[in-house]
Amino acid sequence: MATKYWVGGTATWDATAGTKWATTSGGVGGAAIPVVGDDVFFNASSGAGTITLSASSTWRSLNCTGFTGTISHPASTTITWGDGTAGAGNVGILFSVGMTYSSAGSNAQLFAQTAPTTPAQTITMNGKSVGNFLVGNAGSGNWQFQDTFTSTGTLTLKSGTLDINSKTVTCGGLNVDGSNVRTLTMGSAAITCTFANTDSLLATTTTNLTVPSNTATMTFSGANANMRIGFFNMNGTSLVFSGGGNMILNRGGGTPTFANLTVNGTAVKTDNISIGVNSAVPIITGNVIFSGQSLTIGY
């Protein structure tokens, strides 16, 4: 484990050490490239250049405090990070306010491999948007959002604990499917899934999934949004469909339980929502509200 500082100006973070890395802030380059167990810093001494990520880019923690340059994440480039030990200051990723993170769409992927069970490794975005984002790629861990989180792709919990920490989340889709031991902690989070014509929430296999008591709201804003979840009590989560089209609640098997269901109609009179497709009808413990446009209910 080591500490590495970027001093390479505009260049590609790749497998070639060169003079890009130093072991002290603003120090002399020539240090080895960071490996998965290293704490990596981009700061005011790193300059305002553009660093382009490659598959060789990895870290235990990435801290960009004071950095005003750009990190460019090319399409189809997967970055895996984390080694099961705590990063400096328990940081997983910390983007600075003054920097730019340029992600080339949803297929620019950030995969957190593993982290300590405690304390949680923090994720601070400071307004930056990422592509696909997965935690627990290669083992257990504990990650906690510190502020608003935005992804153009899928936010995936594969194993371990993801604590949304009552923050606002916007993502294409939320995937908590599988059988690994995992916990999704939401609190009073506001989660918006934007994917259209595909799964906005996927959890057909809910074995070993824990969702603590919460007051979170999940909004599906894409047209023809699908929500597929197996037999599971979401423990207080409310659902909102607002994208119109052929909206589907519970396309997977099972009888999930939610607090409230709201369907906000669009101006298109052919919008419809299918509830309980290919399975038992979900249980709504609170209110079912249809609003926004004229309504015809068929049985």
Same domain, 146 and 202: no
Residue 182 pLDDT greater than 50, yes or no: yes
Residues 53, 142: Cα–Cα separation, whole Å: 25
Same domain, 157 and 210: no
Q: How many CA atoms lie within 13 A of 122 on its CB side?
A: 14
Same domain, 240 and 287: yes
Token couple for 115: 């982290």
The residues, ordered by sequence, that sit 6+ positions from 147 with a Cβ below 8 Å of its Cβ are 124, 125, 126, 167
For residue 201, tell me if it sits in a domain: yes
Same domain, 64 and 194: no
Same domain, 196 and 256: yes
The predicted pLDDT at position 299 comes to 47
Of the chain, the percentage scoring pLDDT greater than 70 comes to: 97
For residue 18, tell me if it sits in a domain: yes
Same domain, 138 and 3: yes
Same domain, 159 and 279: no
The predicted pLDDT at position 38 comes to 97
In tens, the pLDDT along 2-59 reads: 999 999 999 999 999 899 999 999 999 999 999 999 999 999 999 999 999 999 999 9
Same domain, 137 and 214: no
Same domain, 80 and 7: yes
Task: Please state, in angstroms and as integers, the Cα–Cα distance from residue 293 to each residue in 85, 227, 249, following that order.
Answer: 52, 22, 20
The count of domains in the chain is 2
Task: Please state, in angstroms and as integers, the Cα–Cα distance from residue 242 to each residue in 41, 55, 227, 274, 285, following that order.
Answer: 41, 38, 13, 14, 20
Residues 218, 241: Cα–Cα separation, whole Å: 9
**Residue 267's pLDDT band (cuts 50, 70, 90):** confident
Q: 130, 163, 196: which is the final residue of a domain?
A: 163
Amino acid at 21: W
Cβ atoms < 10 Å from Cβ of 292: 15
For residue 135, tell me if it sits in a domain: yes
Site of tokens 């792709």: 153
For residue 42, tell me if it sits in a domain: yes
Which domain covers residue 82, as residue numbers? Answer: 1-163
Same domain, 196 and 97: no
Site of tokens 């989560």: 237
The residues, ordered by sequence, that sit 6+ positions from 77 with a Cβ below 8 Å of its Cβ are 53, 54, 55, 104, 108, 109
Residue 115 pLDDT greater than 90, yes or no: yes
Q: What is the mean pLDDT of residues 191-220?
A: 94
Residues 87, 89: Cα–Cα separation, whole Å: 6
Token couple for 78: 């997967």
Residue 296 pLDDT greater than 60, yes or no: no
Same domain, 284 and 220: yes
**Residue 297's pLDDT band (cuts 50, 70, 90):** low
Site of tokens 């870290």: 59
Work out the widest C-alpha separation in the chain, in whole angstroms: 73
Residues 62, 154: Cα–Cα separation, whole Å: 21
Site of tokens 């994917």: 195
Give the H/E segment covering residue 288. strand 288-291
Residues 285, 258: Cα–Cα separation, whole Å: 6
Give which of 140, 93, 137, 94 is closest to 115, Cα–Cα: 140
For residue 193, tell me if it sits in a domain: yes
Same domain, 108 and 217: no
For residue 243, tell me if it sits in a domain: yes
Token couple for 85: 């030990």
Question: What rounded mean pLDDT belongs to the chain?
Answer: 92
For residue 11, tell me if it sits in a domain: yes
In tens, the pLDDT along 140-149 reads: 999 999 999 9
Q: What is the mean pLDDT of residues 274-291?
A: 85
- pTM of this structure: 0.94
Give which of 272, 213, 268, 216 is closest to 247, Cα–Cα: 272
Q: How many CA atoms lie within 13 A of 33 on its CB side?
A: 14
